[in-house]
């Protein structure tokens, strides 16, 4: 069985794929992308992916509020996915705040450069303190 950290990597990959399809105006079914990426049918993965999609506008607004001098649209697809997942988990799930932040930072350490990791950390930290 996969642990939550591994499942979050899958969520990130799925959200990355979706942003590629959206950018290219390619039609897609969320469930098909989930099935392509996810080995097992998992509620956690579905909750995160559908949650981020559902609240994307609110999540992006909040991200932009704290991305001083930046906007989420300027981030790479992977970085966007990590930041959106982190914000979603912080605000819309019962994942402990510190776990939501740490998990996002761990993904950013693996997939983002140092400046982006710091930016993601800063945004999540500000959201956490203003919750």
Angle at which helices 97-111 and 114-129 pack, to 10 degrees? 170
Residues of the chain with pLDDT under 50: none
- What percent of the chain stands above pLDDT 90? 92
pLDDT at 99: 97
pLDDT at 1: 64
pLDDT at 68: 83
| Residues 10, 75, 126: CA angle, nearest 5 degrees | 85
Handedness of CA 119, 125, 129, 131 (dihedral sign): positive
- Number of other CB atoms surrounding residue 17 within 10 Å: 19
Structure tokens given for 115: 């400046």
Structure tokens given for 6: 């591994």
């Amino acid at each position: 069985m996969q642990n939550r950290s591994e499942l979050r990597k899958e969520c990130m990959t799925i959200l990355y794929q979706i942003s590629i399809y959206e950018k290219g105006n390619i039609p897609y079914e969320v469930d098909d992308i989930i099935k392509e990426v996810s080995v097992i049918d998992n509620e956690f993965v579905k909750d995160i992916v559908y949650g981020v999609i559902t609240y994307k506008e609110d999540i992006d607004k909040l991200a932009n509020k704290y991305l001083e001098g930046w906007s989420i649209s300027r981030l790479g697809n992977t970085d966007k996915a990590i930041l959106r997942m982190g914000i979603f988990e912080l605000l819309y799930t019962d994942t402990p705040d510190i776990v939501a932040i740490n998990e996002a930072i761990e993904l950013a350490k693996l997939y983002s450069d140092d400046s982006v990791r710091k930016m993601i950390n800063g945004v999540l930290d500000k959201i956490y303190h203003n919750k």
